Amino acid sequence: MRSRPHLHTSYSADQALMPTATKKVALATFLILAALAPIASSIPFYPDFLGNNDWMKLLSHVAIFGIGALGINLLTGVAGQVSLGHAFFMGLGAYVGVVFGAPSGDLWGWGLPMWIWLPMAGIIPAAIGLLVGPAAVRVRGLYLAFATLGLVFIGEWAWRNLKFITGGSFAGRRFPEFQLRMWKEEEPLVDFASDGVWLGFEISEEAKVYLLMLGLLVVATVLAKNLQRTRAGRAFQAIRDRDIAAEIMGVNEFKYKLMAFGISSAYAGVAGALFASFVGRQIPETWDLFLSVEFIAIILIGGAGTVSGALMGSAFVILLPRLVQDFTEWLSNVIADGEGLLASVADAVISVSPDDFGVVNILPGAGPGLSVFQLNQVLFGLLVILFMIFEPLGLYGIWLRIRNYWKGWPFTY
């Protein structure tokens, strides 16, 4: 039984979240390792750099975008409703969070604790999602993508003009910090916004935030994974695969499309509020079309319709710029070190001075090439295209192929 992952002898076994022991062990190991990342330097054989503060920040970023990606995955990947409006709902969540959570001052803020503002950042976008949902349900396919694209632009106008909430164009405002309080008392119960000592370990602010995000991501993932095997989850997939057939079989299309909109907006709102507070200060221009495109790209690169794909995709999209940056820095060090074939190849790729010709610039304004940031943008676009052409199932599809190769090894024909 253990060696036959697809042999199910009961319905509950077929529906199990963790069908095999291997999966259980692998996941538990991964979670323990992820939770231990902040104290990486005191564990043997564990890559030290993961415990650095900037890597803690990157991994928190991955977790937050992972939560957002689970939302868009539910709507676009599972229920098949293509939405470019994710950025709108993220912005909405962020501003709901800040109105509830930020201390009152020149801008609106009620100074309520995190256990209120974070759920509200999910509930209110969900309500708005249900409100605009009926209009969206009428609109099908690509027309829906265009309608939700309109939502992003209307949202941007609203954020720029609601100055008493958002702080106005290119000014922005500070978002509430991650602090757990019972009510409005001075000392927070758990303070994620300053360094401290937990369980005898020195722990930095970044590491605390990372652990918080990891926890929230685990909760969000379990909820999303569970949803897919409920009645509603099966209805979503039926609508995605053949909407008329689903209706004929008794799936209430209107109800379930609306539900998908609501839940996806709730995920987006929470992710938006977390992201805004994580960065600290956000301008209204953050919630633009590119953010929506980024989320669509995350689920496509990861593998649309799969929970693990959404998470792999966000890790890939967030970590790629960092890897590219490290790589270009390494290449420029190679040039600086001196001669040899490698150095001349690197020199052709990178321009280090204004009259040097290369594809990538290290210094701002040096040569005609792209900056590292722009190189990342180009790679991002290229990856989206390549994944769509060569592996529509994304990273999940690649993983499937690797797994299937080893399943039959050494008889892989």
Closest CB 163 distance from other proteins, rounded Å: 9
Least Cβ distance, residue 18 to other proteins (angstroms): 31
Positive or negative, the Cα torsion across 104, 86, 318, 402?
Answer: positive
**Closest distance to other proteins from the beta carbon of 56 (Å):** 28
CB of 88 to other proteins, least distance (A): 11
Residue 46 or 290: the one with the smaller Cβ distance to other proteins is 290
Of 191 and 285, nearer to other proteins (C-beta) is 285
* Binding stretches for other proteins (CB under 8 A): 82, 135, 138-143, 145-147, 149-151, 153-154, 157, 160-161, 242-245, 248, 289-290, 293, 296-297, 300, 368-371, 374, 377-378, 380-385, 388-389, 392
Closest CB to other proteins among 210 and 387? 387
Closest separation in Å from C-beta 196 to other proteins? 41
Q: Would you say 146 or 330 has its CB closer to other proteins? A: 146
Q: Which is nearer to other proteins, 169 or 179 (CB)?
A: 169
Question: Least distance to other proteins from the beta carbon of 144, Å?
Answer: 9
Residue closer to other proteins (CB basis): 335 or 372: 372
